[in-house]
Amino acid sequence: MSELEIIEYIRKQFPIRNKEIVKGIGDDGMVFRNGYVVSVDSFYEGVHFDRTYYTMEAIGHHTMAAALSDLAAMGARPVCALVSLCCAAGMRLEDIKALYSGFKVLSKRYGFDITGGDVVRGPGFGLSITVIGKARSVMERSGARPGDGLYVTNFLGLAEVGRHVLRDKLLHKEYRDSIKQHLFPEPRFHEARSIKKYASACIDTSDGLSTDAMHLAEESKVRIIIDAEHIPIHSEVGEFCTNHHIDALDHILASGEDFELLFTAGNVPRQPGLKIFKIGHVEKGRGLYLSQKGRTILITPTGYEHLKP
Q: Name which of residues 78 to 107 contact a copy of itself (CB under 8 A).
A: 79-80, 82-87, 89, 91-93, 96-97, 100, 104, 107
Listed residue (30, 26, 60) closest to 43, CA to CA: 60
Closest separation in Å from C-beta 182 to a copy of itself: 18
Q: Contacting a copy of itself (CB under 8 A), which of 98, 114, 170, 228?
A: 114
Q: Contacting a copy of itself (CB under 8 A), which of 50, 109, 111, 266?
A: 111
User: What are the residues whose beta carbons fall under 8 Å from the beta carbon of 209, sequence distance 6 or more?
Assistant: 152, 156, 226, 231, 252, 253, 254, 255, 262, 303
113 binds a copy of itself (CB under 8 A): yes
Closest separation in Å from C-beta 64 to a copy of itself: 12
Closest separation in Å from C-beta 19 to a copy of itself: 10
Q: Contacting a copy of itself (CB under 8 A), which of 167, 176, 221, 306?
A: 306
Considering beta carbons, is residue 117 or 232 the nearer one to a copy of itself?
117
Q: Please give the C-alpha separations between residue 49 and each of 105, 190, 278, in angstroms, as whole numbers.
A: 19, 26, 31
Alpha-carbon distance of 309 to 305, in angstroms, equals: 9
Phi, psi of 283 (to 5 degrees): -130, 170
Scan residues 20-39 and list those touching a copy of itself (CB under 8 A): 20-21, 24-25, 29-30, 32, 34, 36, 38-39
Considering beta carbons, is residue 165 or 254 the nearer one to a copy of itself?
254
How many residues bind a copy of itself (CB under 8 A)? The answer is 72
Listed residue (144, 169, 158) closest to 258, CA to CA: 158
Q: Contacting a copy of itself (CB under 8 A), which of 115, 235, 242, 243?
A: 115
Scanning 14-133, the segments in alpha helix (DSSP H) are 56-73, 93-110
User: What are the residues whose beta carbons fall under 8 Å from the beta carbon of 111, sequence distance 6 or more?
Assistant: 77, 78
Radius of gyration over every alpha carbon of the chain, rounded to an integer in angstroms: 19
43 binds a copy of itself (CB under 8 A): yes
Task: Answer for the pair 188, 66: CB distance below 8 angstroms, yes or no.
Answer: no
147 binds a copy of itself (CB under 8 A): no
203 binds a copy of itself (CB under 8 A): no
Scan residues 45-84 and list those touching a copy of itself (CB under 8 A): 45-48, 79-80, 82-84
SS3 at position 296: strand
